[in-house]
Amino acid sequence: MNKSLILLLTVLFLIPQAAPAEWYKGNTHTHTVNSDGGAAPDEVARWYKENGYQFLVITDHDFVTNVDGLNSILAAEEKFLVIPGEEVSDGAVAKDGRDVPIHLNAINIRKTIPAAGGKGVTETLQADVRAINAAGGLCQINHPNFGWALGVEDMAAAGDYKIFEIANAHPYVNNAGGGGMISTEALWDSLLTRGKKVFGVASDDAHGYRIFNERQANPGRAWVWVKADRLAAEDIVSAMSRGDFYCSTGVTLKDIKAEEKALTVEIAASARGDVKYTVYFIGRGGKVLSTVYDNPAVYKITGKEGYVRAKVVDSNGLIAWIQPLFIREK
């Protein structure tokens, strides 16, 4: 064998090869007895671990739970990560005189972040986003339709946040909109159409762990799948900041390929063989660009869409949302 080839093969063998990124299932909005949740942090973490999750963010109102002990115990048993966080609970007076709630998650922080306050809804939201960013946390704006608190103008002006809840599984947060108010998904399209690069999150906003019914804010109803190099807080946060994740209420994907000329979505096989899927590719203004029944589902990019995102709906109403691919105009 050629000596140069032998040397090359030897060098390649000696250089550690990077492990491929993996998909990790997690929840980014969870409460315990440290605020208004119904179970202790260790019980909450164990519920998620025992129900197929790989990571959990504990986000009690205005309190940061120390998760070092939880990680020592749970990680020793099996791969599972608890990330510290806080739901910063603020409020403001809306233009119509109503007092409205403004809640944001600060993900992967160690110290409590006080509510920043402000003169109105937009100013208060902006101040809280800045405070979370200054503390080094990943900022997630929560349930914008809860109390009909946050409109398009507020969200568009709020500065540098990366993610917000398009699907919060709490039963009383008005995801679907109504009475002339738009849904959280329509709000997402409005922001994307304005050029706001923001990614959509689905989360439990879990509070109740004893009684399970449709009126309770139970765990296990909405989550994210994050594609990260490692199951580590900094890797999960970094991947979500880049949009390397999708969110779901029950549909699982096998792969997502975002390329220059096409967006491809491959759906994982369901445990039930009779489930059917519809994939909607959506662009500027929330317009449905294409409806596809194939698996994998492929959308060929024209360069005029502004952005392309995908929504997979199964025949039982469960959904997966794929993050937008931002298109350079041709």
How many secondary structure helices (H) and strands (E) does the chain include? 7, 16
The domain 250-330 is placed in CATH, from the list 2.60.40.10, 3.10.180.10, 3.30.70.20, 3.40.1280.10, at 2.60.40.10
Residue with more model confidence, 179 or 73: 179
Report pLDDT digits (tens) over 286-325: 999 999 999 999 999 999 999 999 999 999 999 999 999 9
| Phi, psi dihedrals of residue 75, rounded to the nearest 5° | -65, -30
Among 6-20, 28-42, 244-258, which stretch is predicted with the lowest mean pLDDT? 6-20
Task: Give this prediction's pTM.
Answer: 0.92
Please state, in angstroms and rounded to a whole number, the distance separating the CA atoms of residues 60 and 39.
12
321, 82, 48: which is closest to 204 by C-alpha? 48
Q: Work out the angle between the directed axes of helices 68-77 and 41-50 (0-180°, nearest 10).
A: 30
CA angle (100 as vertex; 117, 223 as ends), nearest 5: 95
Q: Residue 107 and residue 139: Cα distance in Å, rounded?
A: 7
Residue found under tokens 């931002």:
326
> In this structure, what DSSP letter does residue 145 have?
T
Q: Is residue 176 within 8 Å of residue 185, measured between CB atoms?
A: no
Summary mean pLDDT of the chain: 93
For the chain, the domains span 19-249, 250-330
* Token pair listed for 153: 């103008």
DSSP, collapsed to helix, strand or coil, labels residue 97 as coil
CA distance 196 to 165: 15
By C-alpha distance, which of 126, 115, 53 is closest to 86? 115
- Which residues, in sequence order, are bridge partners of residue 228? 22
pLDDT digits 0-9 by tens, 184-237: 999 999 999 999 999 999 999 999 999 999 999 999 999 999 999 999 999 999
Phi-psi region of 129 (alpha: psi -120 to 50; beta: other; left: phi over 0): alpha
CB 163 within 8 A of CB 140: yes
Cα atoms found within 13 Å of the Cα of residue 246, Cβ hemisphere only: 26
Section 97-110 average pLDDT? 98
Per residue in 118-147, pLDDT tens?
A: 999 999 999 999 999 999 999 999 999 999
Is residue 275 within 8 Å of 311, Cβ to Cβ? no
What's the rounded Cα separation, in Å, for the pair 159 and 313? 31
The CATH superfamily of 19-249 is Metal-dependent hydrolases (3.20.20.140)
Residue 298 in tokens: 């492929």
Q: Do domains 19-249 and 250-330 have the same CATH topology?
A: no
